[in-house]
């Protein structure tokens, strides 16, 4: 009878002690899963109503270590930190930081009331820690887009399938339709418009039974506009009056002032004719005849060739001539005022 009473008291004492040990103690991690280290840390938030010794600690314990034994946990822990090193977050919650194990696996994070058996160190709480595998490098598979081939043209990099059409290679008899491709090319003044209706049946990875209908309309205009380089725009005075011109006088890359044919003719009081077949301007003033051909580095003065250090050219749809060479050939005087960048023409 006495043995039964003593045993009952002992059991009650043990259960009370265990309940007291685990009462009001919680461990919470900042994340559910972690990658292996290095430099990976887990924040362990904790609360407890149990009295703690100065050397109470929280550590990461390998799986399989028996619970409850501080001596066993101390002997096999991977890493630990004393709770006296705890920090506070912005919400005044206590936490400690532990280095994440370098090997993937499942672990325990456990809290002990002391670090020495003489201080009756016991396990207060535990929570699982999962350390996953490192994330492999992501590899993007190559994606091949079926191409539509039009005879006589370069296949574009991108094809736009018709609405509702299946373009996946390997799909039997899935038509691919391209409707109304319009391409505008602005180079010089070239414009190309292509309207094409293409039906292509793809069987497996082979293009078969390709029927292509194409209506191509090409408008091409070729001019030599803006074929001359402008170095500087200038002013021209004729008998101390400003010259009026729809193309502003300018200095070309050869350092020569250029003016449209009619502006020079009007400034000199000469008649002018243009021969489109030979690209030649003929200026006549009294008995003096001057012929200037586009692109030539010489002019004809009364049939005699006179060399020039620049050539007539085209600018904004106008044929422009070297002002000094032509004016002097017509008997006028030409001067230059560098202070005002002004050409002075006196006839």
Give tens-digit pLDDT for 288-312. Answer: 999 999 999 899 999 999 999 899 8
Give the pLDDT mean for 101-117: 88
Task: Specify the pairing of strand 105-112 against strand 123-131.
Answer: antiparallel
Query: Confidence class of residue 163 from pLDDT cuts 50, 70 and 90?
Result: very low
pTM of the prediction? 0.36
Q: Is the pLDDT of residue 156 over 90?
A: no
The predicted structure's pLDDT at residue 4? 52
Q: Is the pLDDT of residue 117 over 80?
A: no
Q: Is the pLDDT of residue 198 over 60?
A: no
The predicted structure's pLDDT at residue 265? 86
The predicted structure's pLDDT at residue 106? 93
Query: Confidence class of residue 121 from pLDDT cuts 50, 70 and 90?
Result: confident
The predicted structure's pLDDT at residue 347? 82
251 forms bridges with which residues in the sheet? 232, 257
The predicted structure's pLDDT at residue 301? 93
The predicted structure's pLDDT at residue 264? 86
Q: In terms of Cα–Cα distance, which of 78, 17, 70 is closest to 42?
A: 78
Q: Is the pLDDT of residue 200 over 80?
A: no
Distance set, CA 59 to CA 82, 86, 111, 133, 307 (Å): 9, 13, 7, 21, 98
The predicted structure's pLDDT at residue 173? 47
Q: Is the pLDDT of residue 18 over 70?
A: no
The predicted structure's pLDDT at residue 141? 45
Q: Is the pLDDT of residue 102 over 90?
A: no
The predicted structure's pLDDT at residue 285? 92
Q: Which residues contact 147 (CB under 8 A, 6 or more apart)?
A: 155, 159
Query: Confidence class of residue 227 from pLDDT cuts 50, 70 and 90?
Result: low
Task: Specify the pairing of strand 342-346 against strand 235-238.
Answer: parallel
Distance CA 40, CA 100 (A): 5
Give the pLDDT mean for 29-41: 84
DSSP summary character for residue 187 = B
User: Pick the residue with more confidence: 43 or 140?
Assistant: 43
The predicted structure's pLDDT at residue 157? 47
User: Pick the residue with more confidence: 65 or 199?
Assistant: 65
Least confident of 90-99, 103-112, 144-153, 235-244: 144-153
Least confident of 217-221, 231-235, 333-337: 217-221
Percent of the chain with pLDDT over 90: 30
Distance set, CA 267 to CA 257, 260, 285, 336 (Å): 14, 11, 11, 16
Q: Which residues contact 152 (CB under 8 A, 6 or more apart)?
A: none
307 forms bridges with which residues in the sheet? 298
Output the six-digit token pair for 161: 């399938």
């Amino acid at each position: 009878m006495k043995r039964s009473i003593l045993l009952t008291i002992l059991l009650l004492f043990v259960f009370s002690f265990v309940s007291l040990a685990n009462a009001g103690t919680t461990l919470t991690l900042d994340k559910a899963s972690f990658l292996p280290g290095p430099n990976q840390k887990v924040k362990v938030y904790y609360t407890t109503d149990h009295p703690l010794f100065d050397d109470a600690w929280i550590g990461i314990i390998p799986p399989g270590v028996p619970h409850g034994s501080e001596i066993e946990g101390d002997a096999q822990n991977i890493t630990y930190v004393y709770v006296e090193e705890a920090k506070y977050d912005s919400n005044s919650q206590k936490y400690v930081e532990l280095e994440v194990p370098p090997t993937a696996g499942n672990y325990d994070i456990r809290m002990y009331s002391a670090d020495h058996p003489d201080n009756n160190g016991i396990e207060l709480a535990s929570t699982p820690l999962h350390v996953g595998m490192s994330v492999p490098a992501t590899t993007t598979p190559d994606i091949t887009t079926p191409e539509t081939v039009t005879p006589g043209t370069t296949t574009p990099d991108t094809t736009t399938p018709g609405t509702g059409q299946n373009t996946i290679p390997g799909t039997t008899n899935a038509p691919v339709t391209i409707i109304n491709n319009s391409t505008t090319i602005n180079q010089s003044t070239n414009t190309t418009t292509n309207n094409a209706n293409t039906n292509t049946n793809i069987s497996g990875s082979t293009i078969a039974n390709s029927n292509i209908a194409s209506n191509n309309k090409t408008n091409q205009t070729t001019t030599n506009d803006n074929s001359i380089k402008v170095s500087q725009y200038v002013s021209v005075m004729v008998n101390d009056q400003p010259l009026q011109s729809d193309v502003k006088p300018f200095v070309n890359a050869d350092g020569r002032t250029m003016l449209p044919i009619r502006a020079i003719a009007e400034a000199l009081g000469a008649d002018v004719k243009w021969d489109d077949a030979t690209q030649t301007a003929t200026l006549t003033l009294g008995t003096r005849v001057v012929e200037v051909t586009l692109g030539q580095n010489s002019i004809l003065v009364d049939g005699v060739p006179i060399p020039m250090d620049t050539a007539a050219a085209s600018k904004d749809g106008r044929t422009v001539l070297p002002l000094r060479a032509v004016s002097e050939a017509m008997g006028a005087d030409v001067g230059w005022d560098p202070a005002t960048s002004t050409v002075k023409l006196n006839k």
